[in-house]
Each structure stands twice: as structure tokens, then as C-alpha cells.
Structure 1
């Protein structure tokens, strides 16, 4: 079910039996020259929709948080960046608000790398409300599996572009797809670095992307999210090593 589609009366009847919610988070930022500015919102929202269609009576989908921390791309046309602290506090208050209405399990389904640090901090405040919080960064957490489908990854790269070709092909302009040949050796920030680290507003190669690869990635991520929920509901969140 979708949280904001419910009336107050319907919500009152629902919340006692649905205690799991998904909060998609993303950004509005340049994605190469070929993918839409809302790529990081569209991908996690699509995954959330797929999960809702499978578990409509067990999961509530919260309205997404569409703006994220994306300072490195702030100079590219169309990018809107909020501070990491603003983003963190906003997510915290949403999570705590959901907890106040009986949510016990919250999945933060993230589509943007610049959000990760703030989300990890927000998890602590939300968990203090007796909520089990799980952060999913789909392109990162499922990297090993995704690389069985694509030859590479990256911001506006093969994996992300393929997903967008599967979700919204009408918004992808493959004739403008580009390649960033530079790979940073270290984690670093400083003046003049983004000319190479984010050349063309990308960190990968979007040119080999296809809709078929995107369909396969979407199926893979959906399978992983389905398993995550089953593990959560069956109290199997840990592997036993001994």
C-alpha cells in the first residue's frame, strides 16, 4: 500500500497490521548528458513499486525524499543539492514520524551515493525509536551480482543507464551517452578534481547500456529486496559462522 493514498480512516485500520515501510531516497542531479536529472529518484521508486505489487498487504510505501546531497555536481545545469545535515535531519524526522504510527521495520531504499553517510547517521536516531532500520544502496549492495550483467558500473554508467532504459526509455538520449576515462586512485576532494572525477557528469561508460540489461538488473534487485523482507519478517538477518 502507498502511505499517502490512504485516508485517515483507512490508515487507522491498516497500521495495526502493517509494520514495515519503505522510504525511497534519491536526488535531482546531472546524470551524464543522456539520463534524466531524476534518475536517482526513478530507480528506487520503481523498485519500491515492484515490491508493493508483491506485498500490498505487508508493506507501506512512503512518499519519496527527492532531494539529496550532491555538492560535487551542483554546478551542472539542473542539479539541486541540499546539505548533508539538512538531508539527515529530514530523513530522521520522517522515520521517527513513521515510528510514532507503529512502524517497526523501515527500509531506506537509496538511489544516490551522496546520501549514504547522512543516511547511516539518520539510522541511529530512527533505531532509537525501537525501529529496525535497513539501508539499501541498490547499485552498491548488489554490485557483485550486477557485474554479472554489465561490464562496468558508474554514475550514469552502464548499469544505471540500462535501468533507466528499462524504466523510462523516453527520457534517455543514448546519442548523448559519454565515457569518463578517469578513475580516481584515492578518496579525495579538492579544487579542480571534478574535471576528471566527474567528467561529462559521469563516472562510468553509459554507451554499452541496453534495455535488456536494465530488465535483468531490475529483476535482480527485486529478488534481493524480496529476500531481504523475508529475512526481516522471519528474523533471519544474520548468518551464523560457527
Structure 2
């Protein structure tokens, strides 16, 4: 159920039932030449819709299309929110939902830069309201990704416009993908990359990390469905426990 499509009377009736609120988080960020700036938005909202279809008594909130994008802020097209601004936005949305009866608030994220804000916001909502908040960024996909993906990875934790993310897009938003412009990129990662702030433009002229030419729709579907299954399992468990 798309929450912003309800009228006043419908919204009141839905909120009385304490629905699960699903909020997709993305970003406007450079993803190379083969993917659009709104890739993270396409993915997070696409995943959110898949989750909403399977969760009884849930509402799909309008997505947040901007995020915290420090690492790639020097590339053309990237728009960055500060950590404080983004955190405050999430907290205030959660507080507003709680006042109207929502007790389970689910953030479905498509951008790694949003993780810090999500953690801070979810802890604040828990401490102040005891609100149940889930922070999902493709949960539990490590093993299935290792089985499905073929190209070497640039970094053990980061993925960006690579085989994985391009496969996601080929599944959820194939009309936005320009595979004719997909090219591999394997920058040399400094030894202290994880130990000190390192803007990506200091090590590579494109934010593509890996080889998107290996991407397929089937890979994206397999991994996304696995992640969605995990999200649904956690949410239904919280519903059954009457949070």
C-alpha cells in the first residue's frame, strides 16, 4: 500500500491498525557511464516494493532519494547530505510515524554511505520511544553472492557499479542499464584505505569498483530474492511478537 496515495480518511483507518512502515533509502550518486545517478534509488525502492507485497498490514512510504555520499562527492552528479542532516531526517520521520501508531519502522537501504545515519537514528528511536527499527542493506547475502558472482572483487566490503550492483539493476530496472558502456575498473586500494578517510577520486577516476560486464539479470534476481526472504522473515517475526 503506497502511503502517500491514501486520502485523510484512509490514512487514519490504516494507521489505527499499527502497520509496518517501509522506507526506502537511496542516493543521487555517480555510478559510472553504464548506470544512472539514481541507481541506489531504483534498487532500494524496487526491493521495498517486493517486501511490501509479502508483508500483511504494511505501508510503503515515499522514498528518500538523497543520502550521505561523502566518498564519491567529487564525481559529477553526486549530491551529498551531511550525516547530521540525514540522521535528523530519519529520526523525525520515525517520531512522526510512532505518534500515529507505527511500532515497526523498516529502513530498506540501497546505499552504503547511509549506514552510519541509519544506526544512529535507529538507536535514538529505540532509546527514546522503544520503537522497533530494522536497518536492512541486502541482509544475509554474503554466501549466496560468493556462490553466484564470478568477477574478482576490488574490496571485501565495498561494491559499487560492479557485477553485483549492475546485476541488481538488470533485475529491478533493466531499462536504465547501458551495458554497451560497461567497463571493468580495478583501482589499486591503498593499504590504509579502511583506516583513514579516503575520497575515491584520490585512487580512481571512476567510481566503478570491479567488472560490471559479468552482470546478468539472473544473478541479480537470485541475490535480491534471497535478501528479500531474509527481510520478510525478520519483519514477520517482529509482527508475531506483537512489538
Query: Shared fold (TM-score greater than 0.5)?
Result: yes
Is residue 212 of structure 2 the alignment partner of residue 214 of structure 1? no
Please identify runs of 4+ aligned residues in structure 1 that moved more than 6 A.
Answer: none
Change (3 A) 1:190 1:159: closer
- Displacement of 1:65 in angstroms is 1.0
1:179 corresponds, among 179, 184, 201, to 184
Q: Match for residue 136 of structure 1?
A: 136
Is the contact between residue 178 and residue 200 of structure 1 (CA under 8 Å) also seen in structure 2?
A: no
- Displacement of 1:21 in angstroms is 0.8
Q: Match for residue 103 of structure 1?
A: 102
- Displacement of 1:219 in angstroms is 1.7
SS of the equivalent of 2:50 reads helix
Q: Match for residue 86 of structure 1?
A: 85
| TM-score normalised to structure 1 length | 0.88
- Runs of 5+ in structure 2 lacking a partner? 154-158
Is residue 210 of structure 2 the alignment partner of residue 204 of structure 1? yes
Q: Match for residue 49 of structure 1?
A: 49
Is the contact between residue 180 and residue 199 of structure 1 (CA under 8 Å) also seen in structure 2?
A: no
- Displacement of 1:214 in angstroms is 1.4
Is residue 160 of structure 2 the alignment partner of residue 155 of structure 1? yes
Q: Deviations over 1:113-169 (max 9, x none)?
A: 11111111111222222211111111x642232222213562111111001011222
Change (3 A) 1:89 1:177: same
Is residue 170 of structure 2 the alignment partner of residue 165 of structure 1? yes
- Runs of 5+ in structure 1 lacking a partner? 238-242
Change (3 A) 1:227 1:184: farther
- Displacement of 1:199 in angstroms is 4.2
SS of the equivalent of 1:155 reads coil
In the alignment, the residues of structure 2 paired with residue 179 and residue 236 of structure 1 have an alpha-carbon distance, to the nearest angstrom, of 48
Q: Match for residue 115 of structure 1?
A: 114
In the alignment, the residues of structure 2 paired with residue 148 and residue 62 of structure 1 have an alpha-carbon distance, to the nearest angstrom, of 33
Instruction: Figure out how many residues of one structure are paired with residues of the other and give that number.
Output: 233
Is residue 197 of structure 2 the alignment partner of residue 189 of structure 1? yes
- Displacement of 1:47 in angstroms is 1.1
Is the contact between residue 22 and residue 52 of structure 2 (CA under 8 Å) also seen in structure 1?
A: no
In the alignment, the residues of structure 1 paired with residue 190 and residue 177 of structure 2 have an alpha-carbon distance, to the nearest angstrom, of 27
In the alignment, the residues of structure 1 paired with residue 20 and residue 113 of structure 2 have an alpha-carbon distance, to the nearest angstrom, of 25
SS of the equivalent of 1:73 reads coil
Change (3 A) 1:122 1:38: same
- Displacement of 1:70 in angstroms is 0.7
In the alignment, the residues of structure 2 paired with residue 125 and residue 199 of structure 1 have an alpha-carbon distance, to the nearest angstrom, of 38
